[in-house]
Amino acid sequence: MTAPCILWFRQDLRLGDNPAVEAVRHGAVLPVFVLDDAAAGELAYGGAARWWLHHSLDALQRDLEARGASLLLLKGDAVALLAELARRTGATAIHAGWLAEPWARAQEVALAERLSADGRRLELHRSSHLLHPASILTGSGRLYTVYAPFARKVLASGEVPPPIDAPDRLNGVTPPAGLSLADLALTPVPPQPNWAAEFGTAWTPGEAGARERLAQFIEDGLENYATRRNEPGVEGSSNLSPHLRWGEISPRQVWHAARGAGGAEALPFLREILWREFSHHLLWHRPEMPREALRAPFASFPFAPDQDLLHAWQGGRTGYPIVDAGMRQLWRIGWMHNRVRMIAASLLVKHLLQPWQDGAAWFMDTLVDADPANNSASWQWIAGSGTDASPYFRVFNPILQGEKFDPEGAYVRRWLPELARMPSRYIHRPYEAPEEIRHAAGVTEQSYPRPVVDHATGRARALAALRATARGPVPEGVEA
């Protein structure tokens, strides 16, 4: 075998605008992906993410084969397997994209040390971010803890470099024996229930699917993004989050496409890309973020863990239609509208006093775009324990939120068919409807539950818990 460079794909499963691919495009190359669940530990890919990964790897395999290379699939200790692969093939270097997750950073250090001891090297590239998290610091050299000044700093840091085209050909070498995609066991197989049956109706994983999704958004959604992104009943989201999470498209590609098409009007959407950067910035500097409160007082927040309440929330049986519709959407297609994510998370943590870590864990298992940085930063923002959770005493009113953002109930009717015949006036508060209206709509306590907690009661309890946490006066709360 000709001594190649090893191209280690991690969470950048694309060929276009991939600096690691660019670094090896002119020499012999051996592409490889290693599934290493043990290294990730509690941050290992959840079920929905594994479904996406399966199909993304399938697409990457085909894209590589069309350019003259094959993807070697391995499973186990990535450090040991890659070091041994380099030794067997004579590769002098492994090229990969760096990651912000603490387990991945530890993996990079261990692999670099192992390779260096053998006269080889690990070359890391920025493939999944606009900027390195350590490069955006305050004037005093500290991490940014508030999103707005972070975003201003990035916007003022200069133009984002243009993306790099994918190579037409790669000089792939014949790989050693590896695993098949089925061997990785990423998708449910009989006798397991096929909980992912509907995922394929909503998503097309892979680089081509990502480009198509971006093009569709630029053409149909970017212009009205600022006004439609909060309306779950319409196609107002970009739906790019899982493609970005798996690196099937790069932030630079998205940035330039939006900038070129929308100019200043693209800024509301670009700020969402910057929130992703901010989340990774926080994780880089605060690796405890997925499991520990970032604000010390919130470590003692008086949660009241209750498995029945958690299960009611997970199953979309809380009695709050906008929340339940979101949880049903999540289970059916592995994704939930962002506005609804906030409402659902607020209900769990504040009304129900369930630990935000339990909600974050459920999202990590059920979201196709499950990302440790985005997920934990957003949950801590909702819980009030995040560095940018201001005002931390905000309590979302799930009824008012539903009436504001889904006024005719289009979203609720789609995901909660048991409420489909309820008049719009009562769609978000079905048990306030007169009995004859509920009867005509076929709504009973057997078909759809009453709220697991009254909003006023839940809000008062949340504010009391916040007062206990803050150990001082807390305003009456911001009801959104």
For residue 217, give every residue at least 6 positions away whose Cβ sits within 8 Å of its Cβ, in sequence order, or none. 238, 239, 240
Q: Is there a shared CATH topology between the 129-160+206-285 domain and the 296-479 domain? A: no
* Predicted pLDDT at 473: 64
Task: Give the homologous superfamily in CATH for domain 296-479.
Answer: DNA Cyclobutane Dipyrimidine Photolyase, subunit A, domain 3 (1.10.579.10)
Euclidean distance between CA atoms 40 and 50, whole angstroms:
13
Tens of pLDDT along the chain (480 residues)? 568 999 999 999 999 999 999 999 999 999 999 999 999 999 999 999 999 999 999 999 999 999 999 999 999 999 999 999 999 999 999 999 999 999 999 999 999 999 999 999 999 999 999 999 999 999 999 999 999 999 999 999 989 999 999 999 999 999 999 999 999 999 998 888 899 999 999 999 999 999 999 999 999 999 999 999 999 999 999 999 999 999 999 999 999 999 999 888 899 999 999 999 999 999 999 999 999 999 999 999 999 999 999 999 999 999 999 999 999 999 999 999 999 999 999 999 999 999 999 999 999 999 999 999 999 999 999 999 999 877 788 899 999 999 999 999 999 999 999 999 999 999 999 999 999 999 999 999 999 999 999 999 999 999 999 998 976 666 666 667
Q: Which among 72, 78, 68, 76 has a CA at the least distance from the CA of 31?
A: 72
Spatial distance between the Cα atoms of 162 and 159, rounded to a whole number of angstroms? 9
Query: Amino acid identity, residue 369?
Result: D
pLDDT at position 3 is 85
Task: Give the chain's count of helices (H) and strands (E).
Answer: 21, 8
d(Cα 86, Cα 15) in Å, to the nearest integer?
22
Distance from chain centroid for Cα 477 = 29
Specify the pLDDT at position 380.
96
Distance between CA atoms of residues 203 and 239, nearest Å: 9
CA pair distance 432, 230, nearest whole angstrom? 25
Which CATH number does the domain 5-127 belong to among 1.20.1440.230, 3.40.640.10, 3.40.50.620, 3.40.50.720? 3.40.50.620
pTM above 0.75, yes or no: yes
Structure tokens at 462: 């949340």
Residue 316: closest CA among 377, 262, 362: 362
For residue 242, give both structure tokens.
């899982």
Q: Distance (Å, rounded) from C-alpha 262 to C-alpha 74? A: 42
Residue pair 84/6 in contact (Cβ under 8 Å)? The answer is no
Q: In the chain, what are the domain boundaries? A: 5-127, 129-160+206-285, 296-479
Instruction: With beta carbons less than 8 A apart as the criterion, state whether 198 and 332 touch.
Output: yes
With H, G, I as helix, E, B as strand and everything else as coil, classify residue 347.
Answer: helix
Can you tell me whether residue 80 is helix, strand or coil? Answer: helix
**Cα separation values, 30 from 21, 89, 155, 165, Å:** 11, 9, 37, 20
Q: What pLDDT does 191 receive? A: 87
Q: Options 1.20.1050.90, 1.25.40.80, 1.10.287.70, 2.40.10.10; which CATH number does 129-160+206-285 get? A: 1.25.40.80
The stretches of 161-224 forming alpha helices (DSSP H) are: 199-202, 207-220
The angle subtended at Cα 75 by Cα 72 and Cα 78, nearest 5°, is 90
Q: What is the per-residue pLDDT for 166?
A: 97
In sequence order, which ranges of 175-266 are alpha helices (DSSP H)?
199-202, 207-220, 225-228, 241-245, 251-262
Cα–Cα distance measured from residue 480 to residue 471, given in angstroms and rounded to the nearest whole number: 24
Closest CA relative to residue 358, chosen from 306, 283, 301: 306
Provide the angle, in degrees to the nearest 10, between the axes of the packed helices 372-383 and 356-366: 150
Query: Quick one: tokens of 191?
Result: 């006798």
Mean of the per-residue pLDDT values for the chain?
95
Joined together, the tokens standing for residue 81 give: 């397997």
Using only C-alpha atoms, what is the Rg of the chain? 24
CA–CA separation, 246 and 400 (whole Å)? 35
